[in-house]
Amino acid sequence: MRMRFLGSTSEAGACPTLYETDRGTIVVQGLEVTDAEALADLRDVLDGETAVEVPRELITEIARRVLADGPATAFPTSGETPTATG
């Protein structure tokens, strides 16, 4: 699997960050949720899965950008790399 950077609300390459894969999925990089009460609210967590916290602003910014640009396509042939702010 290969990934392409979509955006981040963090400075200096820190997380949280979203990536698009060549499989048509989104990968989330972020801090693992470790709060026991929050983890108790999760449903059907499989082996190998974890919860990652992502700011709402990051998700809405990436969604806005993808909707404005049309359907998301992993690894566009233009070689364009999105910036952290769009």
* Domain residue ranges in the chain: 3-69
Task: Please give the Cα distance from 74 to 41 (Å, whole number).
Answer: 32
pLDDT at 79: 47
Claim: this prediction has a pTM higher than 0.75: no
Structure tokens, 8? 């981040």
pLDDT tens string, the chain, 86 residues long: the values are 999 988 887 776 667 888 989 998 889 998 899 999 999 999 999 999 999 988 888 888 888 887 776 655 555 544 444 444 44
Task: Please give the Cα distance from 10 to 50 (Å, whole number).
Answer: 21
CA angle 62, 16, 57 (to 5 degrees): 40
